[in-house]
Each structure stands twice: as C-alpha cells, then as structure tokens.
Amino acid sequence: MLKLVSVELREIRLPLIHYFETSFGRTTERRIILVRLESDDGVGLGECTAGEDPFYSSETTDTAWHVMSDFLIPLLLDRALESAAQVSDVFGPIRGNRMAKAALETAAWELEARRAGIPLWRHIGGERAEIACGVSIGIQESTEKLLEKVRKEVGDGYQRVKIKIKPGWEIEPLAAIRGEFPDLKLMADANSAFTLEDIPLFRRLDRFRLMMIEQPLAHDDIVDHAILQREIETPVCLDESIHHAEDARKAFEMGSCRIINVKLGRVGGYADAIRMNRYCLSAGLPIWCGGMLESGVGRAHNIAMSTLAGFVLPGDVSASARYYLEDTVRPPVRVTSRGTIPVPTGPGLGYEIDPERIARATVRTQLFSPEREKHA
Ligand code: OSB
Ligand code: MG
C-alpha cells in the first residue's frame, strides 16, 4: 500500500554554467519543481521537467505547479493507492499535463523502491548496470566555438554527440564536425524548425552519415515525418510528437520514424516508459533516454529509466558538471572516461540529495496533507 501523509512542492532556481540554445530559444537559468512524497514509512523524490516557457511543450514550470497543486495532488491524497504502478491511472481523468504527472508519478516509484531497500532501476525492471552517455550541444555563436565544444566532449569520452540545428545552422556546423571526426557517432536535433519544403536540405544532410535526425518537422506531426523518412536515408527520430506508447506504435506503423527519444516527463512517468520499452522491444524500434537539462534528481531518474532493455542507444544523460556548478545531489552525477555512468547500487535513486544546496536555491515551497485537503 502507498498511503501518503504529505506532498511537498518546491521551486528551485539553478543558473546554467553556459546558456543552452535550441531552435526555439535560449535558456540561462532553470526553474525546477522538486517533489517530495512522504508516506508513513518512506519518502520519494521527483523532478518536473517542464521548461520555463511553453516552447518545447505547452507545459511550463508555472502550469505544472498549478496542475499539480490544484488537481493531481488532491487526487493522490484522496485515496490509499495499492502501488506506484497505479498512479498514472489515478491521473487518467486529467488530460495532457504529462510533465506535471510524471514529477509525482516518478516520486511514487522512488518511494516504493527506497522503502523496499532496492535500487529504483531494479524496481522498474531495468537490466543493465552501466548506461551509455551522449551529449547534446546547443547552437553556438560560431563553428569554431562548436568545434571546441565537440573536442572537449569527445576528449571526455562521450559516446555520441548531438548538435542542435535550425535553418541556417545545419550544413556548415555538421560538415565541420564530420571533417574533423569522420567516425564520430553524430546526430542533429531540429526541435521542429523545418518543413517538407526543406527535403532538398535533408537530402544534403544524408552525406554526413548521421545516426539520426531528431524531430525535424512539426511538434504535433507524424504524417509529414513519414513522407520525409521515405525521401532520406538518415533515420528520423521523434521526440516532441510522441506522448505515450500508443503514439510510438502509430508512428512506427506509419513509417514516421526509425528511432524514438523517450523522456520520462514527456510520456508522463514510468508506467508509460515501461509500456514504451515493451512495445519498442517487440517492434525492433530502438529507443534512448532524452534529457531536459535536469538537476540531479531528474538526472538520476533518467539513469534508472536508461537501464530498461530497449534503451539501446546512448542517451542525453551526461555529467552534472556540464550544466551546474553545484547540483542538487551529491556526489554529482559523473561520467567515466568510457562515456558511461555506472548505475548506483543504493536504495531508490541511489544519489543523496544536498539539502543545503537545495535550500539555498529555493524560491517557494508548499506542503499538502490529507487533513489540509479536507479543510481547504
Ligand atoms: O529536444 O532534446 C531536446 C533540452 C531542452 C528541451 C529539449 C531538448 C533538450 C536537449 C538537452 O536536447 C538534453 C540535455 O542535455 O538535457
Ligand atoms: Mg529533442
């Protein structure tokens, strides 16, 4: 049983060491909601991956706070749950808002694992003791700056490099990287910045032998992606278009993609990530773990998800030090010189949070309890 005695929401602000730029904009500071669930016999932590602005998805830090506090948390406190696996069904009546749901759902799974004294990755059915890591490099001011970054990441051992592209920032940066690193596992993420009119451009990209091109077309499309995939050799990978395992099935059956980037927040948590894993394994569709500039709590959840058998390609799961001077967990997430993260062996997430660091970054907290809900 999972009987919650309290839910705490906390917003923290974490400045990024370097701004992160995509085709939809630049992020310099993260506004992250951390979730702490408490039952009479344990605690569980989650992180909301919604961004500051509704550019990647329609959710933001503020919409997630609203939906959690006014709708999702009352649903959770209202009943005794049998298990974390049930949480996503309890949230069923609420449409969309998957990042808000995932923040709470993933915390429930962590609570269960920690209470049982087992690592979270084992609890969700994960199968590998070490995960493969890649990096996502934002749009840079110049090709030379980009090359410096790529050299650093390759030198640090990362197994593949993804660069963000947008119209006018595609051929030249990719040609420069390929020129210097002919065998590098390289890919590009457009975050929906192109249309079918760009087919000639995508054909030119084929010569760079990219592992994949991520979300080249509209965020809500799987039809044009199928048309594009028929016209190019580079495998299309979908990110924004896939919200759950059923979307994955439809996209795969339509030929809209050959690879999927799975993000815990975007799919609403572990229940669907596990379904996605099962479906993609049976379909022979490779998947990998995407990133949302998470702090250590969300990063540790990404590490756990990456241990599921279907996650066969290096993920956007990299070291804390690439993002934050001081992370929310200690020790911070570190990557080996082989570009891997050994999966932690302790109970739950397996990383300790740094309460002092979190306290210093906190701008608001709110505590919810069953009694308070009744009297509200
Ligand atoms: O499209 O994968 C994306 C970051 C924010 C929003 C969307 C995306 C990204 C990344 C960064 O690519 C991945 C990471 O390093 O966390
Ligand atoms: Mg992406």
Nearest bound ligand to the CA of residue 50: 1
Q: How far is the CA of 189 from the centre of ligand 2 (A)?
A: 6
At 147 the three-state DSSP class reads: helix
Nearest bound ligand to the CA of residue 164: 1
Q: In what order do the strands lie in the sheet with 362-368?
A: 42-47, 25-39, 4-22, 362-368
Q: Tell me, what's the pLDDT at 83?
A: 96
Bridge partners, 236 (sequence order): 213
Q: Tell me, what's the pLDDT at 373?
A: 53
> Residue 73 carries which side chain, given as an amino acid letter?
I
**CA–CA distance from 194 to each of 166, 170, 199, 221, 339 (Å)?**
8, 11, 9, 12, 31
Q: Tell me, what's the pLDDT at 374?
A: 52
Q: Tell me, what's the pLDDT at 244?
A: 97
At 81 the three-state DSSP class reads: strand
Short-list 107, 52, 48, CA closest to 76? 107
Could you tell me the pTM of the whole model? 0.97
Q: Tell me, what's the pLDDT at 371?
A: 72
How far is the C-alpha of 14 from the C-alpha of 194, rounded, in Å? 31
Phi, psi of 125 (to 5 degrees): 95, 20
> Residue 13 carries which side chain, given as an amino acid letter?
R
Question: What pLDDT, in 10s, does the model give residues 118-134?
Answer: 999 999 999 999 999 99
The residue contributing the CA closest to ligand 1 atom 12 is 136
Short-list 305, 265, 262, 304, CA closest to 287? 262
Q: How far is the CA of 214 from the centre of ligand 2 (A)?
A: 6
Phi, psi of 45 (to 5 degrees): -115, 145
Residues 6 or more apart whose CB falls under 8 angstroms from that of 323 comprise: 14, 16, 17, 293, 295
Mind telling me the catalytic residues?
164, 263
In 10 A of CB 1, how many CB atoms? 9
229 HSE (CA, 13 A, CB side): 22
The residue to mutate among 18, 19, 20, 28, having the most atoms of ligand 1 within 8 angstroms of its beta carbon, is 20
**137 pocket-lining for ligand 1 (C-beta < 6 Å):** no
How far is the C-alpha of 277 from the C-alpha of 292, rounded, in Å? 19
The residue to mutate among 287, 293, 341, having the most atoms of ligand 1 within 8 angstroms of its beta carbon, is 293
**192 pocket-lining for ligand 1 (C-beta < 6 Å):** no
Question: Helices 245-254 and 223-231, interaxial angle, to 10°?
Answer: 40
Two tokens at 276?
């996605």
> Residue 58 carries which side chain, given as an amino acid letter?
S
For residue 331, whether the previous peptide bond is cis, meaning omega lies within 30 degrees of 0, is yes
**239 pocket-lining for ligand 1 (C-beta < 6 Å):** yes
Q: How far is the CA of 47 from the centre of ligand 2 (A)?
A: 19
**327 pocket-lining for ligand 1 (C-beta < 6 Å):** no
Two tokens at 105?
């759902």
> Residue 214 carries which side chain, given as an amino acid letter?
E
Task: Specify whether the CB–CB gap between 173 and 146 falls below 8 A.
Answer: yes
Question: What pLDDT, in 10s, does the model give residues 124-170?
Answer: 999 999 999 999 999 999 999 999 999 999 999 999 999 999 999 99
Q: How far is the CA of 22 from the centre of ligand 1 (A)?
A: 8
CA 293 to ligand 1: nearest atom: 16
**E strand or H helix at 217, and its extent?**
none
Bridge partners, 237 (sequence order): 214, 259
Q: Tell me, what's the pLDDT at 160?
A: 98
Q: Is 163 exposed, middle or buried (0-12, 13-18, 19+ CB in 10 A)?
A: buried
> Which residues in the chain show pLDDT less than 70?
372-376
